[in-house]
Structure 1
Amino acid sequence: MPQPIRVGLIGAGYIASWHGDALKATPDAQVTAVCDLSEPAAEGLAMAYGAVPFTSVEAMISSGACDAVHILTPPQLHAGLAQQCLKAGLHVLVEKPVAVSLDETRAIAETAEASGKRFHPGHNFLGLPSYVRMKEALNAGAYGRVSQAEISWALPLAPLRSGPFNLWLLREPKNLLLELGPHPFAFAVDLFGPLEVLHAEATKPTPLPGDDMRPQGFRILARASGVEITFHLSMVETVDDRSLTLRGSSGRARLDYAADTLVVDRENASDLIMNPLRRQLDLGWQHLREGIRNAAVQTVSLNQKGPYAQSFRGMMAAVYGPLAAGQPQDSRFTATSAIAVMQALEDAIAKLPPEVLAVAAPAVQHRQPKPTAMVIGGTGFIGRALTRRLVAEGQDVRVLSRGRQGPFPDLPDQVETVGVSLHDLEALTEAMQGIEVVYNLARSLEDTWAGALANDVGVSTRIAMACEAAGVQRLVYTGTIASYDMSDPEVQITEETRFPADMTDRNLYARSKAECERQLMKLHAERGLPVTIARPGIVVGHGGPLQHWGIGRWHGAGAVRIWGPGHNILPFVLIDDVADGLIRMGRDPAAVGQSFNLVGEPMLTARGYFDAIEEALGARLRVSSGNLNVFYASDAVKYGLKKYALRKRGLVRPSLADWKSRAHFSPFVNDKPKRMLGWQPETDRARFIEKAITEANLFGF
């Protein structure tokens, strides 16, 4: 029996776990190495798969720990890394887009051929079981002669409206098409061959900071093998429609590749009365069959085989089965396919008007900023508003970011962006030289308590130590109201309300933020750390998301299940008011050693908020009450299955109080920041709704 192919993952970000889990389920492959510039990220992911962590590709290659690699880094790094690994004698699978140009894609393919190793494009949806069924039926003639195809990718892309704006896909308008286009184009290429692009247009432009316009949609017309193909890409807040429709002489097939369902609409030979009835019954039966099949797969696999996970598993089987057996590559995942997809993408980009592809010139810098304030987490929702508010009040700002590109291209004289690791005490201390006030808005969403201690609690205390070493006069830390027990409507919450003594059964975010506060206040008591704690409520306003998880569980842009019945007043607060409160905390000497709940005046219930959206914007959402006892019971069952059936570690034991706290049953009293800081949150309901909803660009258009 052949040994499994040893695979190294280069890049330990979000997509890496999807690759890793799929490889774990593939008999012909196993994860043996993980490489990432961040040592904690590499170690954390490697631990999950029993692999060896590395912080450099060179070290991973020289170790001989793998036979193949998956390149999961930002796209601009794909081509160089792929060629480096191919030359070192490793097979490569490159996450989409495989490169940022046709020339780079061809260079990877040529290097693979010269090295005798395999290059696979990561077009994972081609591995989806329902797509395989569609392709087999098409090739068997089940749909007759196909004349038209329509391929849609309609899925909200929140960063276009709420950031972070320093992502690669937002740097140029064409990057959006390079990022989202490979999946739809890969379907067309695999089914019909190379594409002839006839027309391309961009729709619904939206401004990024600095009035740098980006399209939120594309419409592309193409042709292949006599089939007319229409591509629709939409990134505004819309119902999820990721689908592939084939129109043939014998049937119309619709693949929902986000849900892994395939339904075929066919004619029948019944008379005029029975014909439409049979047709609809047939469609209804197919929908029922697909739903039952998916539900059964999900249930039996304990939620390990969702559609997205299935697509990766299918891709891994198609890649590593032939590789392990010494058979030719599957045609879906070859260099030829990668080149055809990239050729079509470049042809579509070439058809777009020049003004669509233009990038706004950065503002001319007339002076070097002289920052006295630092914002850590300045590229996020609150951080962007805080930074701009500080500048508006005449203060220069240093923003700490993972890179040197930030969302302030229009403020080169007032804002400088510095790339510093939050795990590097010396670099943090150096970056704080000359800084009077540090605002720490950083957050780390971990799925284990060990990860939270390292990447949230550890980071917050390291920032505090750097503040001490650099002589910073004030550290303002943003905690969260989620750390409170908000399950009892009879209990009013003030800053004097203590967090639960035992938080082991609270969600990791709430628990971690509470521990951060505890450690910082300990440093204040023992060493005089000049720290102030801010706990913002449910923050709304321009730049914020429609799908705010502080209100409920979202199912796409059109449906939300509220945490609880939705009739209690929620602790909403406007983003502008939060920024104002943070600045006041950083300036008022009396704020040192104090905490402040930045919660606005009582305005809206959850249902009132959605009613206001409908009234102001004409958009009715499907709003349902969420039974918190049912949520808790379901969570408890999942906890038991994960712990005892899947043998997972580091799980958080669910509690009813934690679920009830999500509904924010306990009312807040916001007297303290108003009394001590002179903070004045919006009091007019109509103006609040105007800022929170009408001016917030919630839907993107």
Structure 2
Amino acid sequence: MILVVGGTGRLGRAVVSLLLAAGQQVRIMARGKSQPFPRKMSDGVELLRGDLGSDADCQQAVAGCDGLVFAASGFGVKDSNPRTVDRDGAIRLVRAAAAAEVKHVVMMSMHGAAADGPIDFLRCKAAAEDAVRSSGVHWTIVRIGALLEQRLETMTAPLESKGKVPVFGSGSAPVTYTSVRDAAAVVVRALRDPALRDRVIEWGSHTLTGNQLAEAVLARAGHGKVQRVPAAALRVLSVAAKPFSPFLARVAGAGIWEESGTAAFEFGLARAEFPDIPVTGLQQVLEESGALGTST
């Protein structure tokens, strides 16, 4: 049995799908709030409504499991935050997994995770990584870039409603993105391949600028224009929005970090080590999104 925490989210669903295709029994733990539990799941899936703030829920979730995938995150959820999910929740669950003698923990993390990281999200991820390393359980830390599908969704929603594609900052800073499909593939590979055990791996799909993403979106849609959000506005929002919208403040802070250029990383060596894991192309993601129609 593999426990997938956050299994109803974008990445978690992809991981669950691949595990089921491999004949694996899966237990999903989620709150069922930001992403509601499906009414019906495939055979081989056990649903557990649980809270990462509860020791009892974490202990129940890991009971009888051989592996654990932590794919939950509080960054992009308006009624949550990284400190309760990505840091405290992750640490609580890892400790429960160690006590239950789970054999392998795969922790989803982020490029740039560090105790002195420039944004709180990266500092929270670093704390979770430290908990995994010191747990006494076999582990794999998968650091990814910003999820490509999530970023494209953020850009295309205003295009459909207002005819504009938002670009944060100058749009010229390189950012490494990881496709959900690629991230899920390396997670499932880590669960079965000893070559990925007890190590950190950074996994990317493409390094692109905001301008390049916007051009691709507009080219496929065949209409619309770019709406720029200046870096100065992001800096103001990262501070001013905290009292009324911590979510918006987090997004603005991440935009400032990306503008620095340090959100890009080299992933060629890792992909060369595992060449059989395919790279999902930008155009493929655009086509599969179904949100942009066809270009004219």
* TM-score between both structures, scaled by the size of structure 1: 0.36
1:616 paired residue number: 220
What amino acid sits opposite 2:181 in the alignment? D
Give the equivalent residue in structure 1 for 2:60: 430
1:592 aligns with 2:197: yes
Q: Return the letter of the residue paired with 1:443.
A: S
Instruction: Tell me the CA shift for residue 538 of structure 1.
Output: 2.5
Kindly indicate whether the alpha-carbon contact (under 8 Å) linking 2:72 and 2:85 is maintained by their aligned counterparts in 1.
no
Q: Note closer, same or farther for the CA distance 1:659–1:555 as it changes in structure 2 (3 Å cut).
A: farther
1:596–1:672 contact (8 Å) kept in structure 2:
no
* Distance (Å, rounded) in 2 between the aligned partners of 1:435 and 1:636: 40
Corresponding position: 1:538 with 2:177: no
Aligned AA for 1:459?
G
Q: Which residue of 2 aligns with 1:395?
A: 24
- The residue aligned with 1:575 is 180
Deviations 1:648-694 (A, max 9, x none): 9x9xx99x996542236243111353255456342xxxx71332101
1:695 match: 288
2:47 paired residue number? 417
Aligned to 1:211: none
Match for 1:693: what amino acid? L
What is aligned with 2:131?
519
Local SS of the residue matching 2:281: helix
Cα distance in structure 2, aligned partners of 1:537 and 1:692: 16
Cα distance in 1 for partners of 2:172, 2:108 equals 28
- Measured on the aligned residues, the alpha-carbon RMSD in Å equals 3.7
Q: Report the equivalent of 1:457.
A: 87
1:98-247 mapped onto 2 (5 Å cutoff): none
* Separation (CA, whole Å) in 1 of partners of 2:291 and 2:151: 6
Aligned pairs for 1:259-408 within 5 A: 372-403=1-32, 406-407=37-38
Q: Give the C-alpha shift of residue 375 in structure 1.
A: 0.7
The structural deviation recorded for 1:555 is: 11
Between the aligned partners of 2:15 and 2:223, the Cα distance in structure 1 is: 30
Partner of 1:359: none
**SS of equivalent residue, structure 1 residue 548:** helix
% identity of equivalent residues? 23
CA deviation profile, 1:382-430 (whole Å, cap 9, x unmatched): 011111111122222111122597347351x122211223233344333
1:438 is paired with a residue whose SS is strand
Amino acid at match of 2:116: D
Q: 2-side partners of 1:672 and 1:473: how far apart?
A: 27
Go from structure 1 to structure 2 and tell me whether the alpha carbon gap of 1:565 and 1:675 turns closer, same or farther (over 3 Å shift).
same
8 Å contact from structure 2 (residues 159, 224) kept in 1: no
427 and 466 in structure 1: CA distance in 2 versus 1, 3 angstrom threshold: same
Q: State the AA in 1 paired with 2:19.
A: L
- Counterpart code for 1:529: V
Q: Hey, what's the Cα distance between the residues in 2 that align with 1:557 and 1:621?
A: 10
- Give the Å deviation of 1:583: 0.8
Distance 1:480 1:608, change over 3 A: same
8 Å contact kept, 1:584–1:677:
no
Retained in 1: the 8 A contact 2:119–2:253? no
Deviations 1:453-506 (A, max 9, x none): 44442211111112112221111111123x45xxxxxxxxxxxxxx3x534xx4
**What is the rounded CA distance, in whole Å, between the counterparts of 2:82 and 2:217 in structure 1?**
35
> Secondary structure in 2 aligned to 1:595?
strand
Change in CA separation of 1:700 and 1:380 when aligned onto 2, cut-off 3 Å = farther
User: Is 2:173–2:209's contact at 8 Å kept on the other side of the alignment?
Assistant: yes
The number of aligned residues is 283
Distance 1:560 1:530 in 2: 43
One-letter code aligned to 2:27 = R
Q: Which of residues 157, 160, 171 is equivalent to 1:566?
A: 171
Does the 8 Å CA contact 1:570/1:664 hold for their aligned counterparts? no
> Do the aligned residues in 2 keep the contact of 1:547 with 1:554 (CA within 8 Å)?
no
Task: Check the 8 A contact 1:600/1:681 in 2, yes or no.
Answer: no
Unaligned runs of at least 5 residues, structure 2: none
Residue by residue over 1:363-394, the C-alpha shift from the partner in whole angstroms, topping out at 9 and shown as x without a partner, is: xxxxxxxxx21111011010111111111222
Counterpart position of 1:442: 72
Contact (CA 8 Å) 1:545, 1:698: kept in 2 or not? Answer: no
Larger Rg: 1
Paired AA for residue 110 in structure 2 = T
Does 2:284 align with 1:671?
Answer: no
C-alpha contact (below 8 Å) 2:234/2:255 kept by paired residues: yes
Return closer, same or farther for 1:571/1:434 CA change in 2, 3 Å cut-off: same
- Structure number with greater CO (CA < 8 Å, separation at least 6) is 2
Is the alpha carbon distance of 1:545 and 1:606 closer, same or farther for their aligned partners in structure 2, counting shifts above 3 Å?
Answer: closer
Q: Retained in 2: the 8 A contact 1:408–1:415?
A: no
Q: 1:631 pairs with 225, 234, 242, which one?
A: 234
Give matches, 1:488-507, under 5 Å.
499=114, 502-503=116-117, 506-507=118-119
1:680 paired with 2:277, answer yes
Change (3 A) 1:600 1:452: closer
CA shift digits 1:615-660 (9 cap, x unpaired): 2232424332x4424533x358738xx8xxx9x9x9xx99x99654
- Seen in structure 2, the aligned counterparts of structure 1 residues 637 and 610 have a Cα distance that, compared at 3 Å, is closer
Structure 1, unaligned runs of 5 or more: 1-371, 485-498
For the residues of structure 1 that align with 2:194 and 2:239, how far apart are their CA atoms? 49
Partners in 1 of 2:162 and 2:122 — Cα distance? 26
Aligned partners of 1:409 and 1:515: how far apart in 2?
Answer: 35
- The answer on whether the counterparts of 2:234 and 2:253 sit within 8 Å (CA) in structure 1 is no
Equivalent residues of 1:457, 1:515 under 8 A apart: yes
